[in-house]
Amino acid sequence: MQIGLDIGFGEVKLAARNGKETNPLLFSFPSVYAKYVPSPMDATNKIIVEYRDKRYLVGEDAKRERAQIAPADFDDIMDAAGIYVSYIRQTQHIGDLASVVASVPPIYWTRKDEYRERLAKLWENVGVVPQGLGIAQVVANRLEPETRHLVIDIGYNTVDHLLIETTSSETGETIVRTRRGGTWRNCGVTFLVDLFRAEMGETDLRTLRFHTLKEFLRTGQANFHGETIDLSGAKRRAADHYKAALGSRIKEEFGGETDHIDGMIVAGGGVYYFDPQDLFAGLPVIVPENPEFANAIGQMLLA
C-alpha cells in the first residue's frame, strides 16, 4: 500500500491506494486529541485509541472534550504523530506494511530526519518531503519542462511556499525539483477568518466562534435564527485584503525572482474560502482537483 500523510495544524489528511488503483482512499480528521476519561454516560459510538498504554479520543470526538489538545508547533506534531497514526489504523484498517511519504513544513526541514525516525517506528517504509512537493507532483503533467513555478499551500495557521523547477526525463515524464521554500506563520485560514470578522461591521455575528464564521466565509452567507444574511460583500473585501497581504509576502520573499516564475500552483484547505486567481502580478494559477488533499495525493504518488 502507498500512503501520503499530511499532518497539519488544523487537519490530518491521508491518501492511500493499493498498487495502481485510480480511486485512492481519502481520509481527513481534525488534528486534535484528548485523553480518554471513562464515564458511565459516555456515548457508545466513541472511537477510543490506545497508544503507549494510554487511551485517547481523536478528531471530532476530541473536539467535544474540554481538555482537547491541538498542535501549536512542530514539536506538538511530532508528539502526536503516533496517536494520529493509531487512529488511522484503527478506523481505516491500515497495517504497518506500507510505503509512506510524509511532509515537513519547509521552515522545519532541518528536522526531517528526526520526523522520519519517529514515523519509521510506526510504519515499515517512510520517506519525508517538503510540504508542497506533493501538490506539484499532482499537476506535474500539466507543467511545461524547463519552467519554474511557485507552490502555495494555504493551511490552517500557516502558508507553506515552495519554488520548483521542471525538467523532462528520457521517457518524456515531467520531473519536479525543489529550489527552495519557506513558511509564513499567521497567514492561513485563521488570518482570513479574522479579516472576514473585521469586515462584517457592527453585528452580533462577529462574536460567534471561529468554526461558525469559517463556514459563513465559505458560503458568503449566514443562516442565523432562521434568517439568511448576505455576507458576500464582507467575504469579497476580506479576500481582497488577504490576496494583497499574501502578494506582499510573495514580493518580499522573492523580489525580482518573480519575473522568472512562470506560474503558481495554489492548494490547501484555504482555497475553498477565496478565489486564488490573479493572486500575484498576473501569474497564471493552477488549482489541483481536491485542493485540500492535493499534497497527500501527490505524496502517495511518490510513495
pLDDT in tens, 54-75: 999 999 999 989 899 999 999 9
**pLDDT of the residue at 184:** 96
**pLDDT of the residue at 44:** 67
Residues 242 and 191: beta-carbon distance below 8 Å: yes
Q: Residue 84 burial by CB count (10 A; 0-12/13-18/19+): exposed, middle or buried?
A: buried
**pLDDT of the residue at 282:** 80
**Structural domains in the chain, sorted by start:** 2-132+294-302 (3.30.420.40), 144-286 (3.30.420.40)
**pLDDT of the residue at 113:** 97
**pLDDT of the residue at 43:** 65
Positions in the chain whose pLDDT score sits under 70: 43-44
Q: What's 211's DSSP letter? A: H
**pLDDT of the residue at 183:** 96
- Helix 232-254 with 189-198: angle, nearest 10 deg: 130
pLDDT digits (tens, 9 = 90+) for 148-176: 999 999 999 999 999 999 998 888 889 99
**pLDDT of the residue at 258:** 83
Residues 112 and 104: beta-carbon distance below 8 Å: yes
Residue 97: which region, alpha, beta or left (left: phi > 0; alpha: psi -120 to 50)? beta
